């Protein structure tokens, strides 16, 4: 009886695993096709100075419109692209596309800072520095407009190698930010050793402001610490006026979130700009 039960249990789990493995395989195959057939595009989420209501930069976020499945969100395919190594090719495309965008904005006299998410695989890629130098040269974007977002977990492990890689990126003139700050290892002693410029306060701390007093204290502490370490600070996931006002009161002025704008296509950014100017 016990054996029969065990068998059933195994059968159940194996079916679940099969389904998950099949989906991964399906997405992996579709990713390869998607790259060839150019099914990806970028959206841009404005980063706004809450004191002036002006856009100061953008985060580039990849979008995948699959011919049968419609929009597949990054959380569903980025980890698979990462595990298979396809992220290196996709990521190089994101970098080039976003740098071209930033250069168009620069030529129009508009805010041109562009933040781009880097995956662990891209960061560890020996070719990264060459790829970056190449893209900056081809797109003619002055390096200081390019900001690369990394996460804490990408910097742990071989800390010495990570610091070395960060220095090489900085030598190109590119700025570095730590994304989703506070959700990873966040070893303060390491933070001081990493040559980074910007901390992005994770949305999980912002989302329950002003109800959650704990989150408010943590957010205020992260902002204060960033200032002590001479880092700029950006808050992500700002959805309400109360959240924006709390951040402003606590000296965090660059904010990003649905309160100002969702990520949008390039052609819709002037609409957002006009709306912000009218407020
Ligand atoms: P992330 O870098 O932390 O990006 C912020 C995510 O929060 C984006 O989700 C954005 O659309 C969403 N968001 C922005 N404001 C708000 C808000 O006010 N409320 C809420 N609820 N959400 C908000 P998205 O575009 O689905 O991207 C998810 C994650 O996928 C990103 O998190 C990033 O880790 C990854 N990702 C996106 N594009 C790329 C890319 O080009 N390359 C790599 N390597 N990763 C990417
Ligand atoms: Mg990001
Ligand atoms: Mg983030
Ligand atoms: Mg986040």
Distance CA 93, CA 59 (A): 15
0.90 surpassed by complex ipTM: yes
pTM, 2 dp? 0.94
pLDDT mean values, one per 10 residues, the chain (279 residues): 49 74 94 98 98 98 98 98 97 98 98 98 97 98 98 91 97 97 77 94 97 97 95 98 98 98 98 93
Which ligand does the CA of 118 lie closest to? 1
Distance CA 40, CA 74 (A): 11
Distance from the CA of 16 to the center of ligand 3, in angstroms?
31
Which of 84, 117, 121, 235, when mutated, tests ligand 1's pocket best, judged by the most ligand atoms within 8 Å of its CB?
Answer: 117
Task: Report which ligand 1 atom has the smallest distance to the Cα of 263.
Answer: 11
∠ CA(220), CA(247), CA(55), 5° rounding?
140
Token readout for 42 is: 């970028």
pLDDT recorded at residue 13: 63
Distance from the CA of 173 to the center of ligand 2, in angstroms?
20
pLDDT recorded at residue 182: 87
Pocket of ligand 1 (CB under 6 A): 45, 61-62, 73-75, 78, 91, 94, 117, 119, 149, 179-180, 203, 236-239, 257-258, 263
Task: Report which ligand 1 atom has the smallest distance to the Cα of 94.
Answer: 41
Distance from the CA of 138 to the center of ligand 4, in angstroms?
30
What residue owns the CA closest to ligand 1's atom 37? Answer: 61
pLDDT recorded at residue 4: 47
Question: Tokens 């910007």 appear where?
Answer: 198
Distance CA 117, CA 177 (A): 9
Token readout for 265 is: 């296509």
Distance from the CA of 173 to the center of ligand 1, in angstroms?
25
Q: Whats the size of the chain, residue-wise?
A: 279
């Amino acid at each position: 009886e016990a054996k029969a039960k065990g068998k059933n249990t195994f059968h159940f789990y194996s079916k679940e695993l099969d389904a998950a493995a099949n989906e991964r395989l399906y997405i992996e195959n579709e990713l390869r096709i998607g790259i060839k057939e150019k099914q990806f595009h970028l959206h841009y989420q404005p980063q706004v100075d809450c004191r002036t209501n002006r856009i100061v930069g953008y985060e580039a976020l990849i979008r995948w419109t699959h011919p049968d499945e419609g929009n597949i969100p990054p959380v569903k395919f980025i980890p698979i692209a990462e595990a298979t190594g396809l992220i290196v090719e996709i990521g190089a495309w994101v970098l080039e596309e976003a740098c071209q965008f930033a250069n168009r904005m620069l030529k129009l006299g508009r805010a041109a800072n562009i933040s781009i998410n880097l995956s662990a695989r891209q960061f560890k890629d020996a070719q990264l520095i060459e790829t970056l130098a190449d893209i900056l040269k081809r797109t003619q974007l002055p390096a200081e407009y390019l900001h690369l977002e990394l996460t804490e977990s990408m910097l742990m492990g071989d800390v010495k190698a990570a610091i070395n890689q960060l220095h090489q990126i900085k030598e190109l003139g590119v700025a570095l930010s730590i994304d989703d700050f506070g959700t990873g290892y966040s070893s303060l002693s390491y933070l001081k050793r990493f040559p980074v410029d910007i901390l992005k306060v994770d949305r999980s701390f912002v989302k329950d402001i002003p109800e959650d007093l704990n989150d408010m204290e943590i957010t205020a502490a992260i902002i204060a610490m960033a200032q002590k370490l001479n880092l700029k600070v950006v808050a992500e996931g700002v959805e309400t006026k109360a959240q924006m006002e709390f951040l402003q009161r606590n000296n965090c002025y660059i904010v990003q979130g649905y309160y100002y704008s969702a990520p949008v296509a390039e052609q819709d950014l002037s609409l957002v700009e006009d709306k912000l100017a009218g407020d």
